[in-house]
Structure 1
């Protein structure tokens, strides 16, 4: 993944309401964020897989950030 794709992903995470990020399961979180990114840019199959894996590996961090925003 390149830096611009990472920036886009984290921008989308920050703009997503905390209640959405905290209520979705891991698979739902990955699918939701991937769909948000795909609205902005085209992802090749390799990028799609890499971004999905990245989100999945950081789902705890994403939820922790969402909880801290909601508090």
Structure 2
């Protein structure tokens, strides 16, 4: 089960479990990990291998001129 929640000033985490877990002994594992805002490009991370990314960078350098925005 994965949840994202806000912990208030009191530091109390409240978790409601499905009724099917009632009256049972459970082992609960909690991992603390701050939520980091994702950039629009983050969904593309890992699509290319390191070698493919290097090849793509080289093609971009070879095929496109760098534009100096100060010339405009």
Q: TM-score, normalised by structure 1?
A: 0.30
Q: Greater helix share, 1 or 2?
A: 1
Pair member with larger Rg: 2
Q: TM-score, normalised by structure 2?
A: 0.29
